[in-house]
Structure 1
């Protein structure tokens, strides 16, 4: 019984040594890292027919990470570039996507793209900080998102009340604190 066990130990040791030698050739180097491309954030369309996903890579010339959105059918066919950006979210009806991309003013902004043949795209925010965590309302009319907001300054003037019957835009709901409490 000792001889077969000893033989197996010797064989596994030899195999491990040869695998270690092969690993030295496959180590991640800086050059390999700069060629690395990753895929993330797959989102299935509401009708279950298409998938949008993000592809990220390192832009070696400008020393920054880039991202683009790609779309394909669920069977893997018709894989194609859609638009520069990331964080895509399908509208509930599946006729539009919301995503984050570079816009004006300089920086990340939220865009909406129609998914028909023409694919009209519109920038819908002009914020100073990067928006994230996009989420459509169930009726597809609103998009909620998170963003870091600087502490607001107190207005030096009073804003008048809206005239009776006026339909002024409601002030945004700003959440200034998030308290966490662990369940006990």
Structure 2
């Protein structure tokens, strides 16, 4: 990591902490029985992630949950699949250098008090960090990675770090845990 990138990341971290102090979230554990609203955050670094996250979102909606999904595209323009979807896609142009959202849909997603937020990515992109850490979600679920203290339920995927496995393991634990 370059010297300037390191400074940029440190400044972004300070911005995130400042935002967390301004808008502290109310932590509350939810399982699949107690949750009513669910947020899904994922990346499209692998092409299949979009399809898997879309199906996961649709499955949850069919079960009666209120679902909102957001996908990060590592580009400056939306590809064809990013237009006219129920999923909100955002690009690098839709966030500030610190990862802070500048489009209304992404700001709304971050401020929404979901019962559960599924973070279906291990990406270290500054926008993923910003959205995850400043989200108002009551309970955040994601993969066990370095610096994941912002998650409330961390899933150790072992050697199978696919998005399908993360979804499967998350649902397994959330259905077993009693509130």
Asked whether the two chains share a fold, i.e. TM above 0.5, the reply is: no
Q: Could you say which structure has the higher helix fraction?
A: 2
TM-score, normalised via structure 2 length: 0.24
Task: Indicate the structure with greater strand content.
Answer: 1
Which protein shows a greater Rg? 1
